[in-house]
Amino acid sequence: MDGKRILIVTGDFVYPPNHGGRVDVWNRLTVLHEMGFWIHLICTVKQMPEHDNIEVVRKIVQRLDLSPRRNRIIDMIYKEPLQMVSRKSLKDVKLDDYYDFALLEGTYVWKILSNPAMNVHHLILRMHNNEYVYFNALAKAEHSWLRKIYYLIESKKFYQMDAKIVRRIPNILFISHKEKEKYENSYKDINGCFLPASVKLDFKHQKRDKNIGLLVASFFMENNREAILFYLKEIHPLIKIPGYQIIIAGNSRGESIDWIIHLARNYDNVQIYDSPNDLQPLYDRSSVFINSMLHGAGVKLKTINAVVEGLPVVSTTIGNEGTGLYPGRDIIVEDDAENIAKEIVYILQNKDKADVIVRNAQEYIKNHYNQRKVIEEYFSKLES
């Protein structure tokens, strides 16, 4: 693929990789860079990223464009989802004459196909989520009726767009094997490929010598907020071992996190990190990773990343969804708060068992998550 020209369009800026979606896109960008692609990256943004972060991205792409994203209430009247309409500036981005490949990182950037200068040989969609399932799950997790209605409307619009999207872009890289099978059963002309979450296979071996748990969740997403609420209200009070601490870290996108500070005010063993640029020091301090999500769709990258970082994972069923990790062998899965708390204590107090779980999980990911191999095979197949 050396010298091939690829256009990559994302719904968000890609750096720092401080939440699941960014981690997947950023790691794939680095893989494509290492494969020798000439990369034109377009990111839709609500506000200008920091200069230092832009410079990091420029080191691995040949051309970078930032396209403004604008949310307006009036845009709710369109038949297309607001997530697409808010990125309609993609229609006006100046494109080069020709690309061998164009990779749309999710359906949010659909409007790039309305750009009159689009000239590409192979058009590919990365399916991060089944969006109408995802927004329906957000609606279930939401307490505000206004937001709940918005999520339900978006879910219906994505459902209505689904067939149109597949007809236009039959080449689809699915992050979830389950969703790949579902789409192939519904749409016979799909040229699908299971491309697991993009993770760097740089496996760590942590000391895990302290009673510290780590919970990573995007503070601005309702289903992630729900996960934090579930942990702090129902799980945390049940964990009573000496020196136990929980680290809760996530990207707030500048929104207030007073709600989580209020929840944690009665505990002296809760540490909150708002929008850290680097999660590595937090992984290094921790001995167990906790994923307490109750609603969601697609693959939970935070679970995979925790395994790569050398942490045993205690998760809900939803938190393990789409990963392929086998409960009891590679990961501990429970849905009841009391059982989750018991498993966290057990893992912290039984290092040998934790070692076995981490070793099994890392071996599974090493065998099934080779991003470069899958991309090379799929792109070569398209060209032939």
Q: What does the pLDDT look like over 208-229, one tens digit per residue? A: 999 999 999 989 888 899 999 9
What average pLDDT does range 81-109 have in this prediction? 96
pLDDT tens string 55-66: 999 999 999 999
pLDDT at 295 over 90: no
52 backbone φψ class: left, alpha, beta (φ>0; ψ -120 to 50): alpha
Could you report the per-residue pLDDT of 38-92, keeping only the tens digit for each?
999 999 999 999 999 999 999 999 999 999 999 887 878 889 999 999 999 999 9
Q: Which residues contact 301 (CB under 8 A, 6 or more apart)?
A: 20, 21, 23, 24, 197, 199
Overall average pLDDT of the 163-173 stretch: 95
* Domains recognised in the chain with CATH numbers: 5-200+370-383 (3.40.50.2000), 212-367 (3.40.50.2000)
Q: What is the mean pLDDT of the chain?
A: 93
Cβ neighbourhood burial of 47 (10 Å; 0-12, 13-18, 19+): exposed
352-356: average pLDDT: 97
pLDDT computed for residue 73 by the predictor: 79
Between the CA atoms of 304, 310, 316 and 321, what dihedral angle is there, to the nearest 10 degrees?
20
Contact 130, 177 (CB under 8 A): no
Question: How large is the average pLDDT for residues 279-304?
Answer: 90
pLDDT level of residue 297 (50, 70, 90 thresholds):
low
120-127/270-274 β-pairing: unpaired
pTM of the model: 0.70
Residue 186: its pLDDT value, please? 92
Q: Is the pLDDT of residue 277 over 90?
A: no
